[in-house]
Amino acid sequence: MTDFPSFEIPGRTALVTGAARGIGRAIALTLANAGADVAIGLRDASADAGLTAEIEALGRRVLPLQMDMASPEQIRAAVDAVVERFGRLDILVNNAGIAPGNPAEHVTEADFDHTLAVNLKGTFFASQAAGRVMIRQGYGRIVNLGSQAGAVALPGEAVYCMTKAAIAHLTRCLAIEWGPHGITVNAVAPTFVETPGNADYLAEPANRAEVLERIAALHRLGEPMEVAGAVLFLVSPAASLVTGEVMLIDGGWTSR
């Protein structure tokens, strides 16, 4: 093998769920910048916050989609729409997720069911719908958004941690099952990142100080583009031999 590693993905079509803001938005823009056309899954397809225009400004085609990850029907319809519009689906990034903080003794059945519906059930059925397309193509790249919370315990986040641990193992299972079809399945597991979803928690000085202390090696929060860079690597030709892996992007948190 004499070719140098490539991180460009021209001619590919990607679907990024939960793309309206934060990490999902950064991933969508990063994949477009690397050459992919991008479908953006949104809980409200009319509220893309300018993302469509930003992707088009990069010279790529874009398709906003109504895609509530708690609805398998919307998931299947969104994947069908991608194939109808672009003719194929090469990359799926399962970014959408929720993290309602709640001490275990106060979790209701409704809380439990909704978190699993979005984080775990949604990830599985989006992977299934995309996987069926990728099996027909003989090619695909799936990246799941895990979390350091899948490897370490976060107080008040028992249900969230459970879903992210499950996603780590789902990633391995799908990698083994779909590898013979030319599909790789990996996950990235970030630490606390500066996003709207973390803003309220990190606005509390005590919470922010504790998080910075626990990010043991770098002592700083992550940025969405730092997660997007890892996703780009995993869907690029440079990572063609990488599958079934969960890449921690945690600034040293879990090495402590």
Ranges of each domain in the chain: 13-248
pLDDT digits (tens, 9 = 90+) for 210-231: 889 988 789 899 999 999 999 9
Contacts 24+ apart (CB under 8 A), 127-131: 127/92, 127/94, 127/170, 127/174, 127/185, 129/75, 129/76, 129/79, 129/80, 130/15, 130/79, 130/89, 130/92, 131/174, 131/178, 131/183
> Is domain 13-248 given the CATH code 3.90.330.10 in the classification?
no
pLDDT of residue 47: 80
Taking alpha carbons only, the member of 85, 82, 91, 79 closest to residue 34 is 91
pLDDT of residue 100: 86
pLDDT tens for the 256 residues of the chain, in order:
568 999 999 999 999 999 999 999 999 999 999 999 999 999 988 888 799 999 999 999 999 999 999 999 999 999 999 999 999 999 999 999 998 888 999 999 999 999 999 999 999 999 999 999 999 999 999 999 999 999 999 888 999 999 999 999 999 999 999 999 999 999 999 998 988 888 888 888 888 998 899 887 898 999 999 999 999 999 999 999 999 999 999 999 998 8
Helices (H), the chain: 22-33, 51-57, 72-86, 109-116, 122-137, 158-178, 196-203, 205-214, 224-235
Q: Are strands 62-66 and 91-94 parallel, antiparallel or unpaired?
A: unpaired
pLDDT of residue 1: 54
The residues annotated with a catalytic role in the active site are 160
